[in-house]
Each structure stands twice: as C-alpha cells, then as structure tokens.
C-alpha cells in the first residue's frame, strides 16, 4: 500500500472514487463499500463500470485488499485489467439486497482474486 | 456484539442509523464513518445529535468498538448517556477536513472512551 499523509477517509467520500489500472487508465469507480458490521472491516469495494447504479447495472465486489490507494492518481489502483474485472463475480440489485446472506459467493470472490491479494485469510469465511 | 444474520452492511446505508442508549432512547444518529485507508478498518462513527450536518453543527467521533449494532432496535446501542456523548471530543466542519492529520485528538478520543471499549489497541496510534 502507498504511504499516505492522511490515513482516514470518510465513507461518504469514497463513492465515485476512480479505480485505475497500473497504467493510470480509469476502469470504473467505487459505488459503495461493504462493511462487516461486527468487526468494522471494509470487506469489499462495490465497483461500477458505468454511470452511477442504474437499472440492469451490476456491481462487482472487489476485496478491499486488492485496492491500493494512490494519492498521486487520486484513486485506487488495481493489478487487474478491465476484462479481468468485468469477468469477476458480480451482483445485480436483487442480489445486492441479500449480500452477505450466503457464503458461497464470498468464497467465489476470494478464489477469483486470490492471486491479487484478495483471498480469504486463514480461518475466516 | 449482537449476533446478526446479515453480517455485511453498505457504507451508504449507515448514514442516518439511530444511536440509542440501553433503554432504547434515540440519542442521535450516525452521519458518516471514518475509515482507515490502508487497513480498511472503520475507526469512528461520526455521530450527530441534531439534524443532518448544518452550519455550526459538530460531529462526535465515536470509536466503532463502542457501538453495538442491535437488530431489534434497528440501530446502534452505546453504553453512554447523551450527556456523556455530548461532552466527548467533537469536531466542527473545518476540523473534519483535517481529520486524521494529527494524532493528538485520536488519543484524546481513545482516552475518553477507554472505559467503554474504545481505547486504542496496544501499539497502535
């Protein structure tokens, strides 16, 4: 992770933050965060590739550990291509309502992002 | 912490969630969350006692570990009185802009909430 002078951010300001690749190209933006109620850990950034969430749009939960905040870029940098992000597990509005209810999709996401630092820590589902 | 069937919440839905005392009285609401950019941990709920943030209003950063989400109450329960919360360290708009820049206020908050489970973990400022 990049060292930052201001370590805290407001949840309300994360929405709309660009997600870029390592070449500085914008791939999409963060639409929302998914937070573990008990531990208070941000588990996923819900990434959008279009405008703000519209009818039929899907959100892609990207494990927080995959995102690297870059102050110079003013956004999050990911070590994936747009095609790889688009092919990752995604959720529509109805599925978002039940986000976290099942564990199957969570291990699917962890498997998908495992090589990019997004796997599940040992002993935690 | 109360067991919940749905462990994940959206950051966007936290705003406006009531904060109650143990008698079920609403003391205020959560206006925003302050998140550590690097670790992805929610450090503080920024609590408001009035309407949504208006001119002159101050926000009170309450350590996340002090808040206990109660599904039956539909809100966070804190083991403090309204007077205790109001007397806690608070920030105005200008100070919010620099939230996290200094460490002094963070140890002040940790000291204030230490007996309610909001102290700083060993080795972390």
- A99 to chain B: nearest residue by CA? B8
pLDDT above 60: residue B53: no
Residues B86-119: tens digit of each pLDDT: 999 988 877 777 765 466 778 888 899 998 888 7
Residues A65-81: tens digit of each pLDDT: 999 988 888 899 999 99
Question: Which of A12, A31, A35 is the best residue to mutate to test the B interface, defined by the most B CB atoms within 10 Å of its own CB?
Answer: A35
Q: Least CB-CB distance to A33: which of B10, B34, B46? A: B10
Domain boundaries, chain B: 11-116
Q: What is the DSSP string of A51-114?
A: SSS-TT--BEEEEGGG-EEETTTTEEE-SS-HHHHHTS--B-HHHHHTTTS-SHHHHHHHHHHG
pLDDT at residue number B56: 62
Residues A34-62: tens digit of each pLDDT: 988 778 889 999 999 875 555 567 889 99
- Across the interface, whether the CB atoms of B4 and A65 are under 8 A apart is answered no
Question: Which of B1, B37, B91, B124 is the best residue to mutate to test the A interface, defined by the most A CB atoms within 10 Å of its own CB?
Answer: B37
**Which residues in chain A have their CB less than 8 angstroms from residue B35's CB?**
8-11, 14, 33, 42
Q: Least CB-CB distance to B11: which of A14, A38, A41? A: A14
Determine the CATH number of domain A11-116: 2.30.30.240
Q: What is the pLDDT confidence band of residue B7, given thresholds at 50, 70 and 90?
A: confident
Residues A6-40: tens digit of each pLDDT: 577 888 888 889 999 999 999 999 999 998 877 88
A3/A76 Cα distance (integer angstroms): 13
pLDDT at residue number B108: 87
Q: Which residue has the tokens 């550990």?
A: A65
- Across the interface, whether the CB atoms of B69 and A37 are under 8 A apart is answered yes
- As given in the structure block, the two tokens for residue B95 are 């100070």
């Amino acid at each position: 992770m990049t060292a930052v002078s201001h370590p805290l951010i407001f949840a309300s300001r994360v929405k709309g933050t660009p997600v870029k690749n390592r070449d500085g190209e914008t791939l999409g933006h963060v639409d929302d965060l998914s937070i573990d109620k008990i531990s208070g850990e941000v588990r996923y950034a819900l990434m959008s590739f279009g405008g703000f969430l519209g009818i039929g749009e899907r959100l892609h939960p990207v494990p927080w550990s995959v995102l690297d905040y870059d102050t110079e870029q003013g956004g999050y940098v990911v070590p994936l291509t747009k095609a790889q992000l688009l092919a990752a597990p995604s959720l529509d509005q109805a599925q978002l309502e039940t986000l976290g209810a099942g564990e199957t999709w969570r291990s699917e996401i962890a498997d998908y992002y495992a090589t990019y630092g997004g796997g599940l820590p040992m002993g935690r589902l």
